[in-house]
Structure 1
Amino acid sequence: MAADSQDLPEASIQNILDQDSLKWVFVGGKGGVGKTTCSSILSILLSRVRQSVLIISTDPAHNLSDAFQQRFTKTPTLVNGFTNLYAMEVDPTVENEEVGGPDGMDSLFSELANAIPGIDEAMSFAEMLKLVQTMDYSVIVFDTAPTGHTLRLLQFPSTLEKGLAKVMSLRNKFGGLMTQMTRLFGIDDEFGEDAILGRLEGMKDVIEQVNKQFKDPDLTTFVCVCIPEFLSLYETERLVQELTKFEIDTHNIIINQVLFDEEDVDSKLLRARMRMQQKYLDQFYMLYDDFHISKLPLLAEEVTGVEALKAFSPHFLTPYKPSAANYTVEELEQKVSTLRQRLQDAEAELERIRKGKQKA
């Protein structure tokens, strides 16, 4: 099936730029497929049509600083060369420093964290969302961690609910014992079980409020980034199914690192890889015939720095065309001459092999 077939949605992310109501844009996929580059370019394009844009990296690898060649922290920082694009990097697995001191609260909170897997992550994510909601950005782009982490992030409301239930059951079971224990360990009231409970309640409210927004297709969309290989196709299918289960809108797929069939590719390895990629590209178009599918070329070097990101951004809006289509007459004549020479060399090699076989 041809990518530019009339019945397929436009091969572009223009639909995201046109949707003025969008508040949250998630960019996710398997590790190593170019999510950070895609989310960075998406945020640059959004900054042209929106009042203010914040891009947040929730990937512990934090490639955002590499992409923009600028150091980012957990505080939103203006990206160099922009007046309305901000970036921040948050580590969802960091310890909650503000929860308590190294001795007192640590023991009690780490017990809670161990009892409910993901509770520390959920709470730091809630803290970050609380912070973001107090800021007035017109759209927020999430450069998410690889797929498994992204799906955990979407389960945070239920994780926090489990956390609350656990604290309540401990409270009911042991009554005032927990309070006595916290005092015995010299923990202030502000770090006691009431404080944890209150904080969990607060986090849960924020997460639930945001979760409602995540499930609203007018406010939230998810962009899947992948490469034309089996594992990436499989991971994308799993991600799309999970997003559907969580009622999160997704209708854009970016297929990165595509080898386009240019006339001057004579490497057997590249040709074989192109055939393999084409097989998976066909499957993508068959599975996601109602998605906006953008294909991006495999480049000789990484796209890093604001200028390189801007230069690559047009391919997100109009389908990439190999440069072969833009040759001048002189360049084409040179190519024909080179191909003739290669053909002569190949024929001479074939003749040599034939003669060698006859002698044998």
Structure 2
Amino acid sequence: MATTAVVDAGEGAPDPTVRNLLEQESLKWVFVGGKGGVGKTTCSSILSILLASARQSVLVISTDPAHNLSDAFQQRFTKFPTLVRGFNNLYAMEIDPKVENDDFSNEGMEGFLSELTNAIPGVDEAMSFAEMLKLVQTMDYSVVVFDTAPTGHTLRLLQFPATLEKGLEKMMALKNKFGGLLNQATRLFGLGDELNEDAMLGRLEGMKDVIEQVNRQFKDPDLTTFVCVCIPEFLSLYETERLVQELAKFEIDAHNIIINQVLFDEEAVESKLLKARIKMQQKYIDQFHMLYDDFNITKLPLLPEEVCGVQALQNFSRHFLTPYKPALKRGTVEELELRVSILKSALQEAESELDRLRKGKQVA
């Protein structure tokens, strides 16, 4: 615990908030990711709300097949940008890379491409993501926030330039191997020119151009950053370390970590279980600070209720801008008064329960 105190209070230590993201006016793409169940959707929703207060227009996109954006905002979203209620510059949409190719026509070149991409592992997701990015680029959003799927899926998403490159190589290999056979077959069956190899290669080359352009933007720290969300437990720490290493490999900037569901030791906690959890959490929080001493690490409190709806998201957003401080601290008069009040209430409940049991026993 002393380690954290030193890190938090140390001169020159990174600001323990997300203000740096709001102040970076050049930022175009913000990815939010981490292990499943750590609160990625809540964090990406709140980040999009905060960005909407500082930027002209914001789009938040869920690429997680288990979409939660609709639940977070308590509003139905689809694969098309929808204005979030209560805002005039915040939009949301939900896409599923694994099923977006179902939208392709089953006829002509589109159907053939769909079958082809399904035969090359990962290309279907990459092509669908490329189509989505092409759509987003035609829109004039100041910044786009991605609420990503759990880590493994996200890392595959970041590999899509190489995946499409692989698909193009396979197409070129087919062209070199079979020559004009495909063209002859399309003419034989009266399918016209839309299925010829040049048309298909042109389609994939067009995808590749979009991918290369976006890939260059993703590797530009002025335009793109990745926010890692985690909880203070071993598996989440391990997953975050893996994610940070992979992001470095892909040359994608990451300098913000959000530690969610933190139990603060200063609070008036009497439960032995909670005290044990606090001790365990503090061990991993210390490790986060030790491993990522140059990151902006934001700690968010565990709440007794879910954060759902625009009002709840806005209320919780203050902890993203100002470090959370418990209302009561141990050793103060207020904290002791609260503990006495809690104990008195517990004693009254126990006495009432005892009276009920005694009366029941007498009746029996």
Give, in whole Å, the separation in 1 of the partners of 2:336 and 2:276. 25
Q: Which residue of 2 aligns with 1:42?
A: 47
1:81 maps onto 2:86 in alignment: yes
Residue 24 of structure 2: which of 19, 26, 30 is its match? Answer: 19
Residue type of the alignment partner of 1:69: Q
User: Which of 2-11 and 25-34 deviates more?
Assistant: 2-11
Structure 1 pair 37/263, CA: closer, same or farther in 2 (3 Å)?
Answer: closer
* TM-score of the two chains, using structure 1 as the length reference: 0.89
Contact kept, 8 Å, 1:105 with 1:187, in 2: the verdict is no
Following superposition of structure 1 onto structure 2, how do residues 146-161 of structure 1 map, counting pairs within 5 Å? 146-161=150-165
Cα RMSD, aligned residues only: 2.4
1:10 maps onto 2:12 in alignment: no
1:224 maps onto 2:257 in alignment: no
Structure 1 pair 330/130, CA: closer, same or farther in 2 (3 Å)?
Answer: closer
Residue 200 of structure 2: which of 196, 213, 218 is its match? Answer: 196
User: Which of 183-192 and 59-68 deviates more?
Assistant: 183-192
Residue type of the alignment partner of 2:256: N
Residue type of the alignment partner of 1:2: T
Contact kept, 8 Å, 2:268 with 2:330, in 1: the verdict is no
Q: Which residue of 2 aligns with 1:267?
A: 271
Q: Per-residue displacement from partner, 1:24-61 (whole Å, max 9, x unpaired)?
A: 11101011100000000000000000000000111111
State the aligned residue count: 342
After TM superposition, give the deviation of residue 335 of structure 1 in Å: 3.0
Structure 1 pair 162/286, CA: closer, same or farther in 2 (3 Å)?
Answer: same
After TM superposition, give the deviation of residue 253 of structure 1 in Å: 0.1
Q: Which residue of 1 aligns with 2:211?
A: 207
Contact kept, 8 Å, 2:328 with 2:335, in 1: the verdict is no
Q: Which residue of 2 aligns with 1:353?
A: none
Matched residue of 2:4: which SS? coil
Contact kept, 8 Å, 1:104 with 1:182, in 2: the verdict is no
After TM superposition, give the deviation of residue 123 of structure 1 in Å: 0.5
Residue type of the alignment partner of 1:81: G
Contact kept, 8 Å, 1:295 with 1:320, in 2: the verdict is yes
Residue type of the alignment partner of 1:57: S
Structure 1 pair 337/79, CA: closer, same or farther in 2 (3 Å)?
Answer: closer
Contact kept, 8 Å, 2:106 with 2:112, in 1: the verdict is no
Q: Per-residue displacement from partner, 1:68-99 (whole Å, max 9, x unpaired)?
A: 01111111110000000000111111142454
After TM superposition, give the deviation of residue 272 of structure 1 in Å: 1.1
Give, in whole Å, the separation in 1 of the partners of 2:279 and 2:338. 27
Following superposition of structure 1 onto structure 2, how do residues 1-360 of structure 1 map, counting pairs within 5 Å? 1-3=3-5, 4-7=8-11, 8-97=13-102, 99-101=104-106, 106=111, 109-114=114-119, 116-183=120-187, 187-325=191-329, 332-336=336-340
- Percent of residue pairs bearing the same amino acid type: 75
After TM superposition, give the deviation of residue 333 of structure 1 in Å: 3.1
Give, in whole Å, the separation in 2 of the partners of 1:176 and 1:54. 45
Structure 1 pair 168/330, CA: closer, same or farther in 2 (3 Å)?
Answer: closer
Q: Which runs of 5+ in 1 are unaligned?
A: 344-360
After TM superposition, give the deviation of residue 282 of structure 1 in Å: 0.6
After TM superposition, give the deviation of residue 154 of structure 1 in Å: 1.1
User: Which of 127-136 and 326-335 deviates more?
Assistant: 326-335
Contact kept, 8 Å, 1:104 with 1:186, in 2: the verdict is no
Give, in whole Å, the separation in 1 of the partners of 2:304 and 2:269. 14
Structure 1 pair 276/76, CA: closer, same or farther in 2 (3 Å)?
Answer: same
* TM-score of the two chains, using structure 2 as the length reference: 0.88
Matched residue of 2:91: which SS? strand
Q: Which residue of 1 aligns with 2:359?
A: none
Q: Per-residue displacement from partner, 1:272-315 (whole Å, max 9, x unpaired)?
A: 11111111111000000000000111111110100000000000
Contact kept, 8 Å, 1:104 with 1:185, in 2: the verdict is no
Matched residue of 2:273: which SS? helix
Structure 1 pair 247/240, CA: closer, same or farther in 2 (3 Å)?
Answer: same
Structure 1 pair 185/29, CA: closer, same or farther in 2 (3 Å)?
Answer: farther
User: Which of 324-333 and 151-160 deviates more?
Assistant: 324-333
Contact kept, 8 Å, 2:58 with 2:145, in 1: the verdict is yes
Structure 1 pair 284/306, CA: closer, same or farther in 2 (3 Å)?
Answer: same
